[in-house]
Amino acid sequence: MDTINILGVSFSKRTMDDTVKLLQKQLASTDKPLFHLITANPEIVMAARNNPQLREIVEEADLITPDGIGIVLAAKWQGEHIPERVTGYDMLVRLLEGAKQQPFSLYVVGADEETNAKSVEIIKDRYPGVTIVGRHNGFFNAEQEDAFVADIEQKRPDMVIVALGAPGAEKWIYKHKSRIKAKIAFGVGGSLDVIAG
Ligand code: UDP
């Protein structure tokens, strides 16, 4: 078994290296449905216990990685071993770095307009293997949302990253799962703010 159940959430026991390899394999595939990755911290685990909608989202996710030392420790208390934290930011950086060998296209959703625009410029500069095919900030009305989801649907990026807070990003990906024609989508928390400095 490469997962462990912690308070109802099935966590991956993979290392960061193995997780990145799995995602790169997914990026190389041509015929797979959207892979919804969740990097879950203890807050999400607790919220999923009390929120049936969030529980359903978590149950349907394709991979849940331990984003927080609390999850690693909880595994230990259960007599299991999770080798390390696998956080959204670290994973994002590893995937962006990997684009040098394995180029991919990216759509960037979330954060305020200035942060979104700046992080896109920095990613373009820093990671030449990444082609950013579209972006939208994280503050939108229903009409704007429908328009940029249609843009994602049409552009079919390899990856969609979503900074809408947690569990805002997870809910958003789940809501649009059938229209996000991508290979991987995941919530990246405050990563765009970190990248934009
Ligand atoms: N965010 C957003 N729209 C929202 C809520 C949050 O774009 O409606 C962005 C926020 O600007 C930040 C990121 O989501 O870039 C993470 O937000 P926060 O740190 O509040 O979330 P956390 O991951 O800590 O829950």
Q: What is the DSSP letter of 79?
A: T
- Angle (CA) 116-18-196 rounded to 5° is 15
Q: All domains of the chain, ordered by start, with CATH?
A: 3-196 (3.40.50)
Closest CA to 38 of 91, 114, 95: 91
Residue 9 has pLDDT above 70, yes or no: yes
- ipTM surpasses cut 0.85: yes
pTM: 0.97
Instruction: Grade residue 1 by pLDDT with cuts at 50, 70 and 90.
Output: low
80 or 1: whose pLDDT is higher? 80
In a 3-state reduction of DSSP, which class is residue 175? helix
Report residues whose beta carbon is within 6 angstroms of any ligand 1 atom.
110-112, 115, 138-139, 163-166, 168, 189-190, 192-193
Report how far ligand 1's centroid is from the alpha carbon of 113 (Å).
Answer: 12
